[in-house]
């Protein structure tokens, strides 16, 4: 319970940061600002920016220095959701109970709002890095985020996920999707946070392992919840994977074995994060939360 309160507080903190960095809704191009801010304000757990902050914190870095990175990461996550929801992609009308971006602003403006958020994410990270002494460290941190979000990361995973719809695929390909679609960005966020905190190579490896494992476990739990989950808690119907003949962890290796793999991943994640000398309680609880969540 204490963890859930803690998570709420941290999410609220990220909400505040986002508000500070949202473009002012004024000027000729006002509509794009409104479209960006609409989706940025749509809630969510803000897991990626929290992980970035916590990564810097456990290393002993200056958390304030990471703030623009947290904001940028949530902008990148938000752009990916806006484009995912487009009619050309998943064609979703609602997200978190609100009409999707293109339902409010139209397909063209939603496409541009996504583009705008991706570009603005880099603009913020770069601008806030000008004139600082650790330019080399900052370039590395921004690069980690770009890589996690790109064709050898999130976009790469997204492409293979789309192409695998209604198809049965082998486990190796499913692991590729999980690794790239979700884990890569989490790795990028946490490595960026740790790099900004001047992590040593050992700590960076442990952070990377933690990030990778919780990312992979998150996806496996997603697959499991589509079978055993509670529709009310999830806020969406279960069983859609089976209906769509989607290859998932349970369909490929069975439900029990899937649970075991997820449990092992989380155990390893916690072992890794405990090796770092900083306070690891929150990140350990977060790992447990990922596997015990019901939505």
User: Which residues bind to its own copies, rule: CB under 8 A?
Assistant: 23, 27-29, 31-33, 36, 79, 83, 86-89, 102, 106-112, 114-116, 118-120, 122-123, 126-127, 129-131, 135-136, 138-140, 142-143, 146-147, 149-151, 155-160, 162-163, 173, 176, 180
CB of 118 to its own copies, least distance (A): 6
Nearest CB to its own copies, comparing residues 122 and 282: 122
Find out whether 106 and 134 touch, Cβ atoms under 8 Å.
Answer: no
* CA–CA distance, 72 with 58 (Å, rounded to integer): 20
Tell me the sheet residues that pair with 95.
98
Nearest CB to its own copies, comparing residues 6 and 84: 84
* CA–CA distance, 222 with 259 (Å, rounded to integer): 11
CB of 126 to its own copies, least distance (A): 4
CB of 175 to its own copies, least distance (A): 10
> Strand pairing of 94-95 and 98-99?
antiparallel
Q: Distance of CA 36 to CAs 42, 81, 99, 219, Å?
A: 10, 12, 14, 27
Find out whether 287 and 214 touch, Cβ atoms under 8 Å.
Answer: yes
- Joined together, the tokens standing for residue 151 give 């064709």
Q: What is the DSSP string of 210-251?
A: HHHHHHHHHHHHHHHHHHH--HHHHTS-S-HHHHTT---HHH
Nearest CB to its own copies, comparing residues 79 and 210: 79
Nearest CB to its own copies, comparing residues 158 and 206: 158
CB of 213 to its own copies, least distance (A): 21
Nearest CB to its own copies, comparing residues 121 and 287: 121
Nearest CB to its own copies, comparing residues 11 and 31: 31
CB of 258 to its own copies, least distance (A): 21
How many CA atoms, within 13 angstroms, populate the side-chain half-sphere of residue 243?
Answer: 6
CB of 247 to its own copies, least distance (A): 13
């Amino acid at each position: 319970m204490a963890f859930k309160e803690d998570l709420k507080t941290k999410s609220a903190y990220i909400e505040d940061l986002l508000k500070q960095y949202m473009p002012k809704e004024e000027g000729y191009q006002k509509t794009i600002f409104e479209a960006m801010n609409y989706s940025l304000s749509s809630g969510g757990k803000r897991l990626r920016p929290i992980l970035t902050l916590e990564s810097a914190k456990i290393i002993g870095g200056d958390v304030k220095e990471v703030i623009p990175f947290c904001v940028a990461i949530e902008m990148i996550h938000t752009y990916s959701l806006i484009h995912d929801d487009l009619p050309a992609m998943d064609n979703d009308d609602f997200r978190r109970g609100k009409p999707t971006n293109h339902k409010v602003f139209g397909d063209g403006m939603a496409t541009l709002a996504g583009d705008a958020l991706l570009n603005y994410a880099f603009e913020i990270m770069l601008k806030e890095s000008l004139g600082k002494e650790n330019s080399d460290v900052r370039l590395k941190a921004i690069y980690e985020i770009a890589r996690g979000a790109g064709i050898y990361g999130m976009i790469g995973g997204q492409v293979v996920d789309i192409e695998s719809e209604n198809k049965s695929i082998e486990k190796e390909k499913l692991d590729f999707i999980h690794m790239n679609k979700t884990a890569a960005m989490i790795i990028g966020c946490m490595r960026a946070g740790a790099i900004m905190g001047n992590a040593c190579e050992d700590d960076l490896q442990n952070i990377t392992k933690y990030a990778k494992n919780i990312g992979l476990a998150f996806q496996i739990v997603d697959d499991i919840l589509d079978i055993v989950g509670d529709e009310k808690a999830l806020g969406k119907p279960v069983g859609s994977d089976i209906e769509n003949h989607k290859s998932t962890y349970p369909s490929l290796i069975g439900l029990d074995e899937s649970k075991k793999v997820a449990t092992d991943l989380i155990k390893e994640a916690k072992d890794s994060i405990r090796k770092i000398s900083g306070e690891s309680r929150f990140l350990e609880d977060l790992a447990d939360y990922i596997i015990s969540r019901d939505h």
